[in-house]
A and B are shown apart, each in its own frame.
Chain A
Amino acid sequence: MLSKRGAVAALLFTAIVPGVTGCSGPADDGTHTPATSSATAAATPTGPAVQPIETATPVAFDRDAATAKARNEIGEPWRLDAAGATACARAEFAFRSPETGGDLAAQLKQLRSAVKKTKSTSLRDAVTALPAGAAATDVRSVLEVCTAMGYQL
């Protein structure tokens, strides 16, 4: 069993996953545009393969600088306000509901409600663009905005 798992891992670890595109154009809320270059798949040697949404890069920063701003654990600036973070959490719950057993419809409703309070127009726009009766996979576009603003999956 171990050798089989190891063999599968070796195959998957050498696979190159096509890059994904996050929000584009000048963001009205200071969000950055994530790199669209290829990203090497990591840490999915055994489970069902999916295309990564988050394409973050660790950033070295001075934790003791007096002007230090909020960041995520890999040092990327955290650009979501509290309402935006809540909306992104609802988006993640909705997107992953097929594998976690979550209630997609309920999470989408909560997502549409939560996003009204954020100052991030790009996040609001992404949620507004979701079709009525959106499928879980449709929420990927919202999570792309979220991860571009420091949210980690």
Chain B
Amino acid sequence: MSRPLGRVAVAVAALAVAGLSAAAPTASAAPASAAAAAPQRAATVGVDQPAVDLSTLNMVPTAMGGVLTPDPARTQTSSIASSVWSIRQAGTKIFVGGMFLDVKADAASSAVRQPFLAAFDLTTGAWDSSCRPALDNAVYALAVSPTGSLLVGGEFTTVNGVARPGLVALDPATCAVDPTFPDTVERPYSNQRAAVRDLVVADGKLYLAGNFSRVSGPNSTHTGVFKVARVDATTGKLDTTFKPEVTGSGVWGIAVDVPRNRVHLGGWFSGVAAASGTSNYAVVDGTTGALVTGLTARPRNNTARMEVYDVELGTADRVYVGGSEHILQMLDAATGDQLAFSHTGYNGCEATRFTWCNYIGAGGDFQVAERIGKYVFGGCHCNDDYVGTSPTHYSSVTRTFTKHKHLMAYEAGTETLVDSFRPDVDGAVEGAWAVGSDTNGCLYVGGDYTKGGAAAGRSMWVSGIAKLCPKAAPKPAGDTTAPTAPKNVEAVDLGGGVLQVQWTDSTDAVGVDHYRVAVTGGASVDAAAGPAKVTGVPAGSATVTVTALDAAGNISAGAAVSIATGRTGGDTASPTAPTGLAVSAAAGGAALTWTPSTDAVGVKSYLVYRDGTYVGWSATPAWTDSAAPAGTELTYTVRATDAAGNRSVKSAAATVTLK
């Protein structure tokens, strides 16, 4: 989930000695200023994920296969039902790791059992059925070794029938176990499985973090460690000089600050080196693993929930720390000072920053922070971009609330929110848990997503992982195959010379770039997706033709429909007000029902108001307000709308008090 900082690095002393260490490290008191002034020299840093350009990225997902059927009960993290926990390109494949049991090619296909780790074709997004690693439990972390092997961390105990608890290297071409990388992890003092939660490759070293207490390395060595270790990323040889002493519970995020020779740790742990004030987040020395002291304590907004889910190095000496409660913090890597933060689901707290105030029943913890190119992506289980009239995402940089959810992008060196980045994917409860990218410039977001395209007026199948690609994605040379023709073209005369056109999407060997909607008489528009509106259509009759184009310029056959045009009058009559509104306390919140309205053309939907504020809508005469607060009388009203946008007057009010 996290990676090393910077292009210029201090070489980390790596006196790797197999076997038991001579002595446990003692706490270091290296002052922040001294560490920051450490000499720097050129070195090789870890394998970055490919950069993406958000200015050209299409927010509507590109079709790809998916993963589904998360099985959290099999794991130690039964409260989190995210299918996807890590995404990484290795070779010509995109690997997806997580808690899922099945894969699917598309909505219409049958699920195929391929638990915990699956590969998808880099270009087509199709599931690669030739690569079927067999693991017996969840995958939480993926990385790529200097030699190109896929490094896999998780809660599994066997891989392809071989005992490989917690850690394994695979050949990305065949998905066979790489026998040259022997390391695994153990947890002999617990009845729980050893688990690797994060992997980072930096300067030829592999940093592993999780909940384990031994590393089994080459030549049958079994070395005691405390939830974090560093090994040679190629040979697996353990660096016994680096021994952070993390205790209490697991480490979930690790970030390597190569220039300062420091390692940042985040998680659920109670402390490092038994030092006070080191729970959940701490910084250790890059050579010995001893605690770095003298840093500013990380601010917190809650006295009970303080766990950190991920840590990431940005640029310009920034450290991003994501976790409870609903906060992504941007800290100065040298001093620990807080530079900025984002939070979700609060309102009115910006002046006091970290105070538990005005929780508005939305938002969620930041559970992934990933730097890709010049951006850091922060993902959370913040599933609503607004509640009532209140946007849910707050940035301390701009001091503004904005409508963002699931996944946000920040300029890595300034913490500035990229406001235009709003992936058109949805249906998640657990939100975003993984972010990846590929060498085609595409971005991947993983979690428990189920749909996409709603903002563009489309209904797209998405399952666990969504792929966002550049609007004019580079295509392989020699693409001469045209997309298939669109189907089921429908057109509606909206009046005033405007037609609304929709269709069933085409398919293409490489990918459909856009659609062209042409109307007899000259009007024509290009659209990334349907439905599309065509204006300036003359009265009388018209033939509407839709074609699909790919980026190589290949054009499909057209699909056409004829329609009478020239409608001048519109539906100006409002629906009748809903009657019989009733509200009651239910397990999921406040349950509302009412008697349907009538309309000259047809009722489209009902809008629901709580205490005068719009809180949701329903296409049917029933709705449940799952965000309704308890302990106070709530007054609800409902109004009806039709397709032309006419609204009824509000219904009579109904009240309820939830316990």
A-side residues, CB < 8 A to B, are 1-2, 5-6, 8-10, 13, 17, 39-50, 52-56, 58-64, 66, 68-75, 78, 80, 82, 85-86, 88-90, 92-93, 96-97, 99-103, 110, 114, 143, 147, 150-153
Contact = CB atoms under 8 A, between A and B. Distances in A.
21 contacts: A5-B162, A42-B194, A43-B185, A43-B186, A43-B187, A44-B188, A45-B186, A47-B222, A53-B190, A56-B190, A58-B78, A63-B305, A73-B307, A74-B78, A85-B270, A88-B248, A89-B271, A96-B224, A100-B224, A147-B190, A152-B249
Nearest to B364: A64
Interface stretch (B18-26, B110-118, B347-355, B493-501): B18-26
Nearest to A114: B274
A70 B305 contact: yes
Interface in B138-183: 157-158, 161-163, 165-166, 177, 179
Q: Which 6 A-B pairs have the closest CB atoms?
A: A9-B163, A47-B222, A43-B194, A39-B191, A85-B270, A153-B189
Contact of B162 (A2, A49, A80): A2
B77 A6 contact: no
B567 to A, nearest CB: 49
For chain B, what secondary structure do more than half of its interface residues adopt (helix, strand, loop), or is it mixed?
A: loop
Interface string B356-397: 000100001100000000000000010000000000000000
Contacts of A69: 304-305
Contacts of B273: 89
A85 B20 contact: no
Contacts of A99: 20, 214, 223-224
Given A2-B179, A86-B271, A44 B211 contact: no
Given A6-B162, A85-B279, A92-B247, A47 B188 contact: yes
A46 to B, nearest CB: 5
Contacts of B184: 45-46
Contact of A45 (B157, B191, B220): B157
A86 B23 CA distance: 20
Interface string B202-229: 0000000001111010001011111000
Contact of A48 (B80, B158, B187, B222): B222
Given A9-B163, A47-B214, A59-B79, 10 more contacts: A8-B163, A13-B163, A45-B184, A46-B216, A58-B76, A62-B79, A70-B305, A73-B250, A85-B270, A88-B270
Interface residues of B, number: 67
A42 B191 contact: yes
Contacts of B245: 89, 93
Contact of B276 (A82, A88, A102): A82
A86 to B, nearest CB: 5
A80 B163 contact: no
Contacts of B543: none
Given A99-B224, A101-B20, A13 B248 contact: no
A141 to B, nearest CB: 14
Contacts of B179: 1-2
Given A61-B79, A73-B211, A101-B23, A89 B247 contact: yes
B252 interface: yes
B87 to A, nearest CB: 22
Contacts of B252: 73
Contact of B192 (A45, A66, A74): A74
Interface of B: 20-24, 72, 75-80, 157-158, 161-163, 165-166, 177, 179, 184-194, 211-214, 216, 220, 222-226, 243, 245, 247-250, 252, 267-268, 270-271, 273-274, 276, 279, 304-307, 324, 359, 364-365, 381
A48 B186 CA distance: 10
A72 B78 CA distance: 12
Contact of B23 (A59, A62, A70, A102): A102
B104 to A, nearest CB: 26
A55 B189 CA distance: 9
B228 to A, nearest CB: 13
B189 A101 contact: no
Most buried by A among B161, B162, B214, B267: B214
Nearest to B75: A58
Nearest to A96: B224
A45 B307 CA distance: 30
A101 B22 contact: yes
A19 to B, nearest CB: 9
A85 B271 CA distance: 8
A85 B275 CA distance: 10
A72 B248 contact: yes
Contacts of B165: 9, 43, 45
